[in-house]
Amino acid sequence: MSEYLFSGLKVIDCATVIAAPAAAMILADFGADVVKVEQPGDGDMLRMLASIPTTPYAAGNWFWQLDGRNKRSIALNLKTPQGLEVLHRLVRGCDVFITNQPYSVRDSLGLGYEDLAPLNERMVYASLTAYGEKGPERERKGFDQLAYWARSGLMDLMREPGTMPTQGLPGMGDHPTGVSLYAGIVTALLHRERTGKGSLVHTSLLANGLWSVSGIAQGVMAGGNMPLYRELNHANSVLARPYRTRDDRWLQFNMLRGRKMLSQLLTAIDAPHLIDDERLSTEKLMFENRAALGDELQAIIKAKTSDEWLSAFASYSLPVNRVAVVEETGTDPQILQNEMAVVPQDEDLELPLVINHPVRVEGVRQVGPRRAPDLGEHAEEILKELGYDDEMIADLRGQGALSGR
């Protein structure tokens, strides 16, 4: 039996930045041999994301270690015939080819599915685009801030009414999209197991953004009254909103339903005078008076700390939680005990914790995490596996097709 589920599976990560490389990283975490093909010079832009002002400054090139782990790197100049020939050799022996190159680049270099599929009929070709495989925006470049967050409508809805649209976080749409692409790849591998044939897998940042906003967008497509929706949601519901506590933390209320649960809540916050308040007698009246009632609850909740309130709410099993701050994640016992973040065993990976992808299967072992590769670190190793000898490798370097070690 193989050591890992995907031991022996050969994957080419011919992609950049986050979403598509994240799908390759999940395959690598389950044992696949992932060869990352990067451009000479700076390599994947993912290598630089830990040093930009919109991410926290820290040692260890942590963003690259997060999504580049457990892979091997070769730096090829695909604009040279020799570099492209190396890639073709990799394709002939691969199981999965992953790319998010713009279609203009794929067309100019011959990296489309129609170009590569004849080289390997069993290959699963995984394509990630910003806006989809068809349509007028097929060739548009895009990142998750643009395609997932802004273009889908999420950016507009995820803000207080009347305020500026909220910026998303780095990788916020990329990482779930990477899981989606991974799911497509695994589905295609099962299809290949049953039919013997490879196939084209594709998803987009826009498709995943639309899926994330589908709890509202499907209502729009059903003919929903959006002006009314926006008007009704101008103020939060009393029982589904955040409240600030004495220690300047926030509590999120949610799914507090029914008269019994309402009575338990009012008992927990020591507000028995509100139990018989007419404004709470029906859902209609509660909604109509939500602003005033919310202000009254806020005045009560402000009097105690979040720990005090969480203890009180827990005694009634009420669905209330503290709004976490990201600084707490590295010591959160729930995160650590469920291995959502793990201590790396690789001494060369100089990070105290590495965040896991969310795909967990009992009985299926996971690799590492092991240090993400230096640019072109495994070039000679990979080329020799493809049948190149030292002289041929030297020729590739001399022709400008290869850089790195």
User: How far, in Å, CA of 270 to CA of 299, rounded?
Assistant: 12
User: How far, in Å, CA of 150 to CA of 273, rounded?
Assistant: 45
Q: What is the model's pTM? A: 0.94
- Report residue 172: phi and psi, to 5°: -60, -40
User: How far, in Å, CA of 348 to CA of 114, rounded?
Assistant: 40
Identify the pLDDT of residue 310.
97
Residues 246 and 348 reside in one and the same domain: no
User: How far, in Å, CA of 385 to CA of 94, rounded?
Assistant: 12
Q: Which domain holds residue 252?
A: 242-326
Give the model's confidence band at 272: pLDDT under 50 very low, under 70 low, under 90 confident, else very high. Answer: confident
pLDDT in tens, 180-192: 999 999 999 999 9
If you average pLDDT over residues 131-160, what whole number do you get? Answer: 94
Q: What is the DSSP string of 143-177?
A: -IIIIIIITTSHHHHSS-TTSPPPP--TTTTHHHH
Identify the pLDDT of residue 1.
47
Residues 313 and 345 reside in one and the same domain: no
**Residue % of the chain over a pLDDT of 90:** 88
Q: Is 359 helix (H, G, I), strand (E, B) or coil?
A: coil
235 lies in a domain?
no
Residues 164 and 17 reside in one and the same domain: yes
395 lies in a domain?
yes
Final residue in a domain of this structure, among 326, 357, 374: 326
Residues 93 and 133 reside in one and the same domain: yes
Structure tokens at 80: 């040279």
Q: Do residues 86 and 402 touch, judged by C-beta distance below 8 A?
A: yes
Q: Which of 14, 10, 9, 6 has the alpha carbon at shortest distance from 128? A: 14
397 lies in a domain?
yes
Residues 40 and 115 reside in one and the same domain: yes
Number of domains present in the structure of the chain: 2
User: How far, in Å, CA of 306 to CA of 76, rounded?
Assistant: 54
Final residue in a domain of this structure, among 283, 298, 326: 326
CA distances from 29 to 5, 26, 145, 209, 240 (A): 10, 5, 26, 25, 38
Residues 18 and 147 reside in one and the same domain: yes
Q: Is 228 helix (H, G, I), strand (E, B) or coil?
A: helix
Residues 136 and 284 reside in one and the same domain: no
User: How far, in Å, CA of 47 to CA of 17, rounded?
Assistant: 8
pLDDT in tens, 343-398: 998 999 989 999 999 999 999 999 989 999 999 999 999 999 999 999 999 999 99
Chain mean position to CA 233: 28
Q: Where are the alpha helices (DSSP H) in 289-328?
A: 290-301, 306-314
Q: What's the CATH number where 275 sits?
A: 3.30.1540.10
| Residue corresponding to tokens 């067309």 | 107
User: How far, in Å, CA of 404 to CA of 70, rounded?
Assistant: 18
Q: What's the CATH number where 86 sits?
A: 3.40.50.10540
User: How far, in Å, CA of 377 to CA of 146, rounded?
Assistant: 33
- Report residue 76: phi and psi, to 5°: -120, 140
Structure tokens at 344: 């790396």
pLDDT at 196 over 60: yes
pLDDT, the chain, mean: 95
Give the model's confidence band at 332: pLDDT under 50 very low, under 70 low, under 90 confident, else very high. Answer: very high
Give the model's confidence band at 258: pLDDT under 50 very low, under 70 low, under 90 confident, else very high. Answer: confident
Residues 101 and 169 reside in one and the same domain: yes
